[in-house]
Structures are given as C-alpha cells and as structure tokens.
Amino acid sequence: KKKRDRVANGPRSNIPKFYCDYCDTYLTHDSPSVRKTHCNGRKHKENVKDYYQKWMEEQAQSLIDKTTAAFQQGKITPAPFSAPPPAGAMIPLPPSLLGLPLPGMKPAPHMGGPLMMPMMGPPPPGMM
C-alpha cells in the first residue's frame, strides 16, 4: 500500500462520515450539528437547486422527445388552432379592447375605468 492509503485507513477511519450526494463530498463528522451547518450553507443550497433544475430540464426534454416521436408516428394529431393564421388574415379584437361594453358588463364607477364583470363567482383561471 502507498503511504497515502495507510493514512486514510489509519486510526481516524472509524469516525463515521456523512456523504452529501448534492455536493459530492464527505463531511468530516456525522453529527446533527455538522449536517445542519452543511445543509444550511450557500454552496449546498446552490448544488441542490442546480440538481433539481437539471432534473426538471431532463424530464421536460424527455416529455418533448416522447411527444415528438408520437406525433411523427401519427399517434397524435395537431391541436386545432395551433397553426398561425394565414398571411394577411385579420383577427378581430374583442369588444372589450375596442371600448365597447359586453352584455352584462358595466363600466367602473370612476371615470374611464376598466370594465367590471357582475359578480358571478370567482373568475376563470387566466382572467386576473
């Protein structure tokens, strides 16, 4: 054995060590206070964030690859209205953008305010 190996396997090798997968490192001691200090550290938190961000990107790419393959095999049809309108086609503006009140809508009491919907429960997702 080399001298370096003997030092690593010497009398101090019985001390339990904690391995952090995110940081790819061993902590010198395995005690709750050492783990807590390590896990609250800036570098550890950055490594955890990077790990999960990379994992999410891999999951998204996998989903994109599977969807593309299914589309190319004809298992998925294009969604309606997914294609852009033909060149020169006019898309009509909704009446609310033209300043016209929609049926059931009243202008806000203050001057020039936005149009208000009558209270019929919570607004649908994306309205607020």
The answer for residues whose C-beta is within 8 angstroms of residue 71's C-beta and 6 or more apart is 78
Q: What does each C-alpha distance from 69 to 57, 60, 61, 64 come to in angstroms?
A: 18, 14, 12, 9
We report the CATH number of the domain holding residue 40 as: 3.30.160
- Whether 2 is covered by a domain: the verdict is no
- Whether 46 is covered by a domain: the verdict is yes
* Number of folded domains that form the chain: 1
Bigger pLDDT: 31 or 79?
31
The pLDDT-based confidence of 9 (bands split at 50, 70, 90) is very low
Average pLDDT for 75-82: 76
* Segments forming the whole domain that contains residue 54: 15-73
Average pLDDT for 95-117: 59
- Whether 63 is covered by a domain: the verdict is yes
- Whether 61 is covered by a domain: the verdict is yes
> Which one-letter DSSP state was computed for residue 119?
-
- Whether 101 is covered by a domain: the verdict is no
On the question of pLDDT at 128 being above 90, the answer is no
- Whether 59 is covered by a domain: the verdict is yes
pLDDT for res 124: 62
- Whether 122 is covered by a domain: the verdict is no
pLDDT digits (tens, 9 = 90+) for 11-43: 556 777 899 999 999 998 889 999 999 999 999
On the question of pLDDT at 82 being above 80, the answer is no
- Whether 44 is covered by a domain: the verdict is yes
